[in-house]
Amino acid sequence: MAKRKTKYVCQDCGYEVAKWMGKCPGCDEWNTLVEEMESSDKRNKHTFNVGSKYSSKPESITAIESEKEPRIKTKMEEFNRVLGGGIVPGSLVLIGGDPGIGKSTLLLQISSQLAEKELPVLYISGEESTRQTKLRADRLNVKAELLYVLAETNLFDIAKQIEEIKPSFVVIDSIQTIFKEEISSAPGSVSQVRESTSELMKIAKSNGIPIFIVGHVTKEGSIAGPRILEHMVDAVLYFEGERHHTYRILRGVKNRFGSTNEMGIFEMKEEGLREVMNPSEIFLEERSQGAAGSTVVASMEGTRPVLVEIQALISPSSFGNPRRMATGIDANRVPLLMAVLEKRVGLMLQNQDAYIKVAGGVKLDEPAIDLAIVVSIASSFRDQPTQPEDIFVGEVGLTGEIRRVSRIEQRVQEAAKLGFKRVICPQRNMDGWTVPKGIQVIGVNTVQEALDIGVAR
């Protein structure tokens, strides 16, 4: 009989200790250590037949032949863009999001599209029965014969079915329900999630099967389980959006096969998710004309320019310490830019509350949005609206200068396509490209110049 011993594992970071402690030494979180049993017999009870096709001997980097494997395309171009051009064979992708946001709906639609292309797909549901999955499939009008559904949580049985069916695409919904018999801890624990993901990675790499696994998120918004889970997979996607709004955003935060700055926009309909090909129109369709504190910025999300409205509300403070609140941008950027306006422009904002919001629920983090934030704050403070056909792009320095931004040509082309007439941008971005017809590009060097052009006194 193999000896069994007790260990305590942190459910946040995976740190292991021999005895229980109130606070985890690894992440300093309280009451996260959970007792688990481990066996001294390290031999696996089951072995998976996943013979590797790769050599175990070291090779010279110059002797290795680089093979560009064709990606598996889906009918959703937004989904393909986030992954870097399509699904890579043998990749392990983790997708997370709030409950009810549409993760299972998205993956079931993708599975149906691949099955319609004569590719066998195995959809493994650990949270729902096959009948429940069938009900969702009927609502989404999924009728592909090569889409196989399996309600199973035992990792050995899952590996056995993958070996028998030999699918071209596998979905695990969700990784927190999968368990390995050799580990005594409950499904969803750190040990189960880590070991199950490790075995799935071996299956994906050795057989060339792309596997998508669904991960739950914590109340802080991060994917539940140990942090090593995100390091093990090839790509990490977040499905974001408000449950009571129809638009969803698929964003890549890690991708070994493409850019991590890409973003896909989807709209939730009764028959499922529908991709939004021109998100700029969506984000600007409810914009108020002639409202003080409203500006439009051309932001880059990966290789795609997106026009987004930035709103600011400046009001006198009733307390000695004015409030600075921001939604959709870094909250630390607001007091910094307000300090620039006070010092370089002369606006007395130290006794004003400031509320900044990016309309549409988008999160922007690039420096090119600084000028639009500054102009919206000045517009609200002076109670003077900006021109509704103006676009503001530029990074603001602490000395009040407007600094160069990247991809200015793509930003201007997107603005011209949507009917905007003027773009106020850094003067250093004016050379080396041709301005499209029907739009005026004005270069500025300082914040004061931008305010003189965009906001009347």
The size of the chain, in residues, is 457
101 labeled binding residue? yes
100 labeled binding residue? yes
Amino acid sitting at position 421: K
Q: Environment class of residue 399 by beta-carbon count within 10 Å: exposed (0-12), middle (13-18) or buried (19+)?
A: exposed
208 labeled binding residue? no
98 labeled binding residue? yes
d(CA 325, CA 390): 25
Which two structure tokens, joined as six digits, stand for 112? 């149906």
Look at residue 374 and give its three-state secondary structure. Answer: helix
Which two structure tokens, joined as six digits, stand for 438? 């029907």
Q: Environment class of residue 366 by beta-carbon count within 10 Å: exposed (0-12), middle (13-18) or buried (19+)?
A: middle
- Angle at which helices 370-382 and 447-454 cross, to 10°: 60
d(CA 75, CA 116): 10
Backbone φ, ψ for residue 93 (5° rounding)? -120, 130
257, 88 Cβ separation under 8 angstroms: yes
Backbone φ, ψ for residue 167 (5° rounding)? -75, 160
25 labeled binding residue? no
347, 235 Cβ separation under 8 angstroms: no
Which two structure tokens, joined as six digits, stand for 353? 């509350």
In 3D, which of 386, 322, 382, 384 has the Cα closest to residue 355?
A: 322
- Residue given tokens 């964003």 in the structure block: 251
In 3D, which of 171, 188, 170 has the Cα closest to residue 179?
A: 188
Q: What is the DSSP track for 27-78?
A: T--BS-EEEEEEES--S-SS-------S-SS---TTTSPP--PPPBP-S-HH
Which helix or strand (DSSP H or E) is residue 154 part of? none
104 labeled binding residue? yes
380 labeled binding residue? no
443, 429 Cβ separation under 8 angstroms: yes
138 labeled binding residue? no
275, 265 Cβ separation under 8 angstroms: yes
d(CA 269, CA 136): 13
Bridge-partner residues for 300, per DSSP? 305
Please enumerate, by residue number, every residue annotated as part of a binding site for ATP.
97-104
Residues in binding site: 97-104
